[in-house]
Structure 1
Amino acid sequence: MDIIDNHINYVEFKAKNLEKIKKFYTTSFDWVFTDYGATYIAFSESGLQGGFEKTENEIVNGALVVLYHKNLDLIKNKINESGGKISKDIFSFPGGRRFHFIDPAGNELAVWSDN
């Protein structure tokens, strides 16, 4: 599958117990998981790739929709100019970089790049 700018590319959920959630989705839906340390697992074979981030906080809205854009600085500026607010500035992770933003309705999303 080609990675295309401005398309939803990934969805990220929160979970308190990664082993329990991994077992649930593997058993129920045959998802395949890759461990990235003690606080993150990625899944595939679900129709859309995604992951679970370990949290100790109460989970209110556990889904984070992640879009792709090859130029994070460009899309970050567009988001700011369009009335969005950056909630977590650009940071690196294994495989790329990303940032989070709040849309005008108050939804938090993220944009990532492998560049």
Structure 2
Amino acid sequence: MLNPSLARPEPPVSTCTANQFAAVRTEESATHAFVRTTMPKLKIVYLELPANELAVSRNFYAKLFGWTFQDYGPTYAAFSDSGTDGGFNADPAERTQHPLPVIESEDLEETEQSILKAGGKITLPTFSFPGGRRFHFTDPAGNELAVMQRE
């Protein structure tokens, strides 16, 4: 017979609103089927960072982390040796306000249509860049991302 003093106590009840919401959503997901837009597994392959002064950003990250750079004109430098490839965009007319994750797709047009069907919004139509094409979109929360396809 189990000694009642050795029994596991009831888990504490969380007073955190987020935890309570998560518990309710977990219960709901067990009883409801969710509809998902199924896409091939697309991965973030590039991170573009805005830069005010390209030389300053390059020097900072080269000294701090030892990253190496490839220039693509006076306002763009790609970096490597960082774990994830990326670049600094210092063009005031083109750079984003926040870091821009870039996802790779094998079919840019299909991915664009899937994003629209899922509720995303295209914020920058497809354009070419050295090595491929890409477009930008926002998710329902307003986060901006890009999708690229290599040439």
TM-score of the superposition, structure 1-length normalised?
0.90
Give the CA deviation at 1:39: 1.2
Q: For the structure 1 residues 71 and 64, does the alpha-carbon distance in structure 2 shift closer, same or farther, using more than 3 Å as the test? A: same
Structure 1 residues 44, 108: CA separation in 2 closer, same or farther (over 3 Å shift)? same
Runs of 4+ in 1 over 4 A off after TM superposition: none
Query: SS in structure 2 opposite 1:106?
Result: coil
How far apart in 2 are the matches of 1:111 and 1:10? 10
1:69 is the counterpart of 2:105: yes
Q: What 5-or-longer segments of structure 1 have no aligned partner?
A: none
Contact 2:50 2:98 in 1 (8 A): yes
Higher relative contact order (CA 8 A, sep 6+): 1
Identity between Structure 1 and Structure 2 (%): 46
1:112 counterpart residue number: 148
Give the 5 Å matches for 1:29-40. Answer: 29-40=65-76
Instruction: Give 1:1-115 correspondences, 5 Å limit.
Output: 6-56=42-92, 61-115=97-151
The structure having more radius of gyration, on CA atoms, is 2
Q: TM-score, normalised by structure 2?
A: 0.69
3-state DSSP of counterpart to 2:74: coil
Q: Which structure: greater helix fraction? A: 2
Give, in whole Å, the separation in 1 of the partners of 2:150 and 2:91.
25
